Chain A
């Protein structure tokens, strides 16, 4: 269906009026970050990919699990509905992958409380960035998996909804059906491939090269910082600790497998003491270990390549494994 006007801004106004917490890309200096906004003006959609991923909406960097005094006093759960406006196909897919991690098998109640009330509004990509490679991982950047999908083609705003939540949300908007020409345009748009980098994943080879000296070579310049994991839309590791002695809060925060302390055990043994082991772990976690959940856990957004201070490139590292 087609909407006349700025759909995303109008959608934000409506969501805010409906009492949603809205996460949208907002401009900071020269770039965009996903953050909670309180008015439609704060959002800015003149971007390709925000710096941080949309996972902040469902899996915030720090959240309070319990508040304690003599005993547990309060367990804060998300009560408001949440909307993410303006996600790209990669981040939308990443949320689906996080669902698998947090909701299959052991169910994470905190994640669940947010996920159940989540509405995602995605935008189809018109252009790719220099390090995008989602197409080679089976994601169509022009057809994101989300509740509501918006594509802007030649000045026309196409809006469609695949899920029940999405459909009921769209009922509040003044939309008209496409004519045949426009349907054709949209079809062509969705089937057109963008020019992107390609990743070649050879699982058998990965399986064999676990002990290869190749990983030392790749990681020689790794700084063991958390850029790749904190910007990654599918990284889900966290740490839990208490703040306050007699009274306080138990907090869950993001953690990164690249930090040496991540795997340090109380026995003072560290199974991944060297940085190449940690980097290898991240690569295997994206392309091999997580296969038991049925997917690669990489969505090809390219953030870890763009912002790695050492220039480590996951596409090259995985494609050239030996």
Chain B
């Protein structure tokens, strides 16, 4: 029985009212998340192109849901349970021991995507079933860079586990390397990245942990009521406007990332969603490094990072 059959069987046994899983798009090999009813189980697919994190979708569904989750997805689900956004008893998690996912944009460089019928991982190669024939690409060349630093390829929370558990490793070598650059080099690097940002806020919108209804960087509408006077409205606090320039974008990204300290699950959705390909995960991973090395916090702890009242330094 192959992986996909196992997933379908597990989903069928779940008695859930809804299923959140990947479905293949028609025009390209991309897989998108869909909410399905139990009798649509046969539509689902799973491959190294199942990129997205379903945790955010779960938050808008009531009732019992079955979900297909990779390692990082399960991390996000666990974090949301920890923060009271999801209920464990409402979830049936089909965990998949993940070998890493493909970076869709890298893949597009190797092959004309409209010709790809199917994608599967075979050993160290990614096998693309094309309309005419087959093509093998070394998986390391198309793998999402984020997966190389994955600490949790095996789900941390699941009802059914598919595949052999795998060991993850924590690796901050690239961050350390970047830290060795001079201050000016670092600033120039980040400014050159951030000036590209168009502030579409996709990084914020796709992040499973960015669930606030009103974001810090939005023009604040805290308590606008019919009685608010124009003066009152004009004087509401505003952290950032909508202006787009390298400096404002820097502030936006620093703020966004700060809210993920000790929470970021490392799914890489922010980078995947970014149309301008900013290296956002680098900031998140830097913060993870601080949290781990300076505060000695472990993401597996039951207490959220900010609730811990230890003080470090003087």
Contacts and interface: CB of A to CB of B under 8 A. Distances in A.
Interface of A: 28-31, 33, 51-52, 61-62, 130-131, 197, 220-221, 223-227, 229-231, 239, 241-243, 251, 253-256, 259-261, 264, 266-268, 307, 309-313, 315-316
A52 B226 contact: no
A52 B200 CA distance: 12
B273 A267 contact: no
Nearest to A243: B241
Contacts of A256: 200
B27 A197 contact: yes
A312 B204 CA distance: 18
Interface string B215-249: 00011010011101000011000000111110000
Interface residues of B, number: 50
Nearest to A28: B196
Contacts of A220: 34-35, 57, 60
B200 A227 contact: yes
B200 A230 contact: yes
B310 interface: no
Q: Which 5 A-B pairs have the closest CB atoms?
A: A311-B32, A309-B273, A225-B205, A226-B200, A225-B202
B105 interface: yes
B33 interface: yes
A267 B114 contact: no
Contacts of B244: 61-62, 253-254
Contacts of A261: 218-219, 221
Nearest to A61: B244
Contact of B196 (A33, A225, A241): A33
A61 B277 contact: no
A266 B105 contact: no
Nearest to A217: B35
A321 B107 CA distance: 31
B241 A253 contact: yes
Contacts of B245: 62
Given A268-B225, A313-B27, A223 B205 contact: yes
Contact of B273 (A62, A225, A242, A266): A225
B260 interface: no
B52 interface: yes
Q: Chain A: interface secondary structure? A: loop
Given A30-B109, A223-B56, A309-B269, A316 B201 contact: no
A255 B242 contact: yes
Given A130-B27, A226-B201, A268-B225, A243 B275 contact: no
A190 to B, nearest CB: 24
A309 B275 CA distance: 9
A227 B206 CA distance: 11
Contact of B34 (A33, A221, A243, A251): A221
A266 B273 CA distance: 32
B243 A251 contact: yes
B198 interface: yes
A264 B228 CA distance: 14
Given A227-B200, A243-B243, 10 more contacts: A51-B276, A61-B244, A130-B112, A223-B56, A225-B200, A226-B200, A251-B243, A264-B221, A268-B226, A310-B52
B106 to A, nearest CB: 9
Given A253-B242, A253-B244, A61 B198 contact: yes
Contacts of B285: none
